[in-house]
Structures are given as structure tokens and as C-alpha cells.
Amino acid sequence: MAKTAAAAAVALFSAALFLLISSSAVVVDAEDKMFVEGKVYCDPCRVEFPTKISTMIAGARVNLQCLCRDNNTVTYMVEGDTDKTGTYRLPVTGDHEEDICQVKLLRSPMDNCKEKFHFIDRARVLLTDNMGVVQPTRYANPIGYMTSTTDPRCEKLMEEMGITLEEAQTKIPDKI
């Protein structure tokens, strides 16, 4: 009976030790590695926001760059391409609580959709574990390119949204 109790205690201790070690390994990995995920789209209406006729851009090149708030030196940088759904997923190592981190557009593979937006050509992301977000993925706002000409369907589309196409194309955001 004593041997059975001792064996059970050893088994329980071993299981508890295994759980402790494996859970701490996950925590260390979560602190060291995050991901920034977002989408790149083509704006055929030239209004600089996604619409129902916008298309995602596969193969677009983006850059994530973090700058020190104090002296503007680059503290982290990585580039990546969007997949067939127009989604990029960039790895981030370390915590960048004191940095300003932004995803910028670098290149569009679409010949008919290469013009960068005039007002918003980047998406800012917070890359720290010290803000209450538990998941390792941080989501950036969609960014995109415009076609050189406006799609004829856009006028009706903007009317459905309660704005004229001209207003949508010339409205300057109050703050960027």
C-alpha cells in the first residue's frame, strides 16, 4: 500500500512539474514573439477607404518599422508580402512599448493599382504586452493603393452611402 501511495505521489509531482515547465515555456514565447496582421486593398473609387467593390491585393510588399520616440532611431524593421487574400502577417520580436510602430506600403504588383493614398498611407500599431491584450496578434487597419481612374460604379456606390463621389474624393480628414 505504501509503495502504491509513493508511486502515485511521484506521478502527481512529475505531472505538476511537467505542466509548470510547459506553461512557463509558452509564456516566454508569448512575451518574445508577436505578429502584426493586416490587409492591403485596391481602391477603384479613389476615396481612400474600402468599399464593397474594393479588391484585395495579393503580392503587395509592406514594411513594419518601429522608431524610438526620443531620437527617431529604428529599433525594429521587417518586410513581408501579402498572401492571395491580400493579408500580411509580420513577425515581431521583443516589446516595443516606447516605440512608434507603423506598417507602410512599399510596392503594389498591380499595374492598374499603384498610386499611394494622399492622406493615409500607413497604419500605426501598438506592439507591447503591457496594454491588456493577451493574444500575440495585433491587427493593423487596412491600407491600400488607388487606381489611376475612377470605376464608373463608384458614383452609385457613394450615393448609396449618402455622399457624392466628388465629396468622398476631396474630403480631407480632420486629423491623420
3-state class (DSSP) for residue 38: strand
Q: Which three cell numbers stand for residue 149?
A: 481612374
pTM of the predicted protein model: 0.76
88, β-bridge pairs: 38
101, β-bridge pairs: 66, 125
Q: Which three cell numbers stand for residue 141?
A: 487597419
Average pLDDT of the chain is 83
- H helix intervals, the chain: 2-32, 154-160, 165-170
- Report the pLDDT value the prediction gives residue 130, as an integer from 0 to 100: 78
Tell me the pLDDT tens digit for each residue of 56-94: 999 999 999 999 999 999 999 999 999 999 999 999 998
* Domains within the chain, CATH numbers bracketed: 2-170 (2.60.40.10)
Would you say 140 and 38 are in contact if contact means Cβ atoms under 8 Å apart? Answer: yes
Distance CA 99, CA 95 (A): 9
Among 118, 140, 120, 128, which residue's Cα sits nearest to residue 64?
140
Between CA 6 and CA 12, with CA 11 as vertex, the angle to 5 degrees is 95
